[in-house]
Amino acid sequence: MLTGIDTPSHVVVGMPALSPTMSQGNIAKWKKKEGDKINVGDVICEIETDKATLEFESLEEGYLAKILVPEGSKDVPVGQAIAITVEDLDDIQKVTATVSGESEIKEEKSTSQNEVREQETSSIKISSSELPPHIILDMPALSPTMSQGNIAKWRKKEGDKINVGDVLCEIETDKATLEFESLEEGFLAKILAPEGSKEVAVGQPIAVTVEDQNDLETVKASVSEGLEVKEEKPDHHVTRTASGPRGTLLKGDVLGAIKSGKRSPKTSVNEKTTQSPQTRPQASVPASPESKSHLKQPAFYEDLPNSQIRKVIAKRLLESKQNTPHLYMSSDVILDPLLSFRKELKEKHDIKVSVNDIIIKAVANALGNVPEANAYWDTEKGEVVLLDSVDISIAVATEKGLMTPIVRNADQKTISSISLEVKELAAKARAGKLSPNEFQGGTFSISNLGMFPVDHFCAIINPPQACILAVGRGNEVVEPVVGSDGTESPAVVTIMNLTLSADHRVYDGKVGGAFLTALRANFSDIRRLLL
């Protein structure tokens, strides 16, 4: 058995959560075998989830040293180790020997660990045999990218009866505030993560339920005593938060944990300052008034905590600008035919629609006319993938951040039906009640700032989509207009700017130009949207 010093640098790969409801998965097929080189983005294996068979891509470079869960394994829990990778090819044999040696010792370790657990539980007068039937509820993964969540509100209190389908609590995820429903009947014995708890990791216990109402006090007292003992025992381990998608531990996390382990975690800020070799000479030299003014913090300031949604938005926007080659194309359209058409719908047919509703329909029809524009870039295959349906994502500003509910198959819907759907989706987005299928996916996005004094702007692409259209406000300008007699004369028209931000791997000049041409045609002859 290798010691911690002799163990080579390695990464333990856990079973990922590839769908919001996934708690376990099956290893359908290993695409890499032990000893193979792995690059970032390589498919390691195919995993059968509760929704479909999906490919699991590597987030790190290295070599596949050991497969811990063989092909065909069923019901592997999320988070369970399925493989080990190493950085250097020479370390494969060391890790393989270590894993083989440890597998023989695991049985002995498990026995000793059980004895330790029994001793710990006996010290607080609890043993597993004495505990009544109970279920520990963990923080669920309510979206594919969720690694942690906030307890927004408990809908049940301790002691309440729980039926199947009852909402236990409201959880703020990285996308929206969603309801967590119970899958079992019973009684809520103990709430472990109180209302308002922030950044609770997926899989961390948040509550305990029991089957029998008479067991409430027993479990509640047991859990309370257990918590007290845990508080008395100091934790000497230096923890490190996993920064990868869905709670994946990356190499940088491990290296950071090793570095932080060299220092005492209890060292205060003041102690660190006095121990720093850089701060000592600075403290002995009197600072000039100018330097003090630069170092002095403002007298009044306020820290605004970010919601889970805003944190994810910030991360995804940065990744988009870093990894997606943005191509910008801009064009002005005359808005007057649209405004006249909207007025006619209201006066003659009593149909009230917004300018944005008509823009959605115009964009959807243009995508139908130019199918090459309704596509995305497949990073793994290195090619463009054309999409069958035209699903338009609409940017909606909420208190918690920007949400993008989706109008699906917008090219096949009427303007009035689009209007009703947008109103319903926007209301649900602002209330934080969108379900995952209402904001996940989409083939094209629209961001409209026409209600503000914004003439034009460039929006950031929302991956994996390949395009987003930025819509500015309408401005009245004087332009030459060709009359019915064929002569030009100056006239006042309303101009609106449209700026396309496109993934240059999908959109070249030809595709972008063809799409804007089709879009301009829809604005010039607005009645074609009725066909």
Q: Is the pLDDT of residue 247 over 70?
A: no
Question: In terms of domains, do 74 and 151 share one?
Answer: no
In a domain, 161, yes or no: yes
Same domain, 56 and 202: no
363/512 same-domain check = yes
Catalytic machinery residues? 504, 508
Render 70-101 in DSSP notation, one character per residue. Answer: -TT---EETT-EEEEEESSGGGHHHHHHHHHH
Backbone angles phi, psi at 47, to 5 degrees: -120, 130
Res. 261 pLDDT band, cuts 50 70 90: low
Verify that 76 and 166 share a domain, yes or no: no
> How many CB atoms lie under 10 A from the CB of residue 115?
10
pLDDT tens digits along 417-442: 999 999 999 998 888 788 888 888 89
pLDDT at 268 over 50: no
Region 98-117: mean pLDDT is 48
Position 305 in a domain: no
CATH code at position 61: 2.40.50.100
Question: Could you tell me the CA-to-CA distances from 504 to 325, 371, 391 in Å, in that order?
Answer: 6, 16, 20
Final residue before a domain boundary, out of 179, 198, 220: 220
Flag whether 394 is in a domain: yes
- Whichever domain contains 437, its CATH number is 3.30.559.10
Helix (H, G, I), strand (E, B) or coil at 357: helix
Looking at the 3D structure of the chain, how many domains does it have?
A: 3
Both 198 and 331 in one domain: the answer is no
Q: Could you tell me the pLDDT band of residue 410, with boundaries at 50, 70 and 90?
A: very high
Q: What is the mean pLDDT of residues 388-394?
A: 94
Identify the domain boundary among 200, 220, 240: 220
37/171 same-domain check: no
Question: What angle, 0 to 180 degrees and rounded to 10, lies between the N-to-C axes of helices 355-369 and 415-430?
Answer: 110
pLDDT band at 296 (very low <50, low <70, confident <90, very high): low
What is the model's pLDDT at position 243?
65
Average pLDDT over residues 17-42: 85
Q: Is 235 inside any structural domain? A: no
Q: Do 363 and 465 belong together in one domain?
A: yes
Domain of 59? Answer: 10-86
**Residue 240, domain member (yes or no):** no
Q: Would you say 76 and 24 are in contact if contact means Cβ atoms under 8 Å apart?
A: yes
Per-residue model confidence (pLDDT) at position 19: 66
Tell me which of 169 and 145 has the higher pLDDT. Answer: 169
d(CA 148, CA 145): 9
Instruction: Lowest mean pLDDT of 109-113, 241-245, 273-277, 321-325, name the range.
Output: 273-277
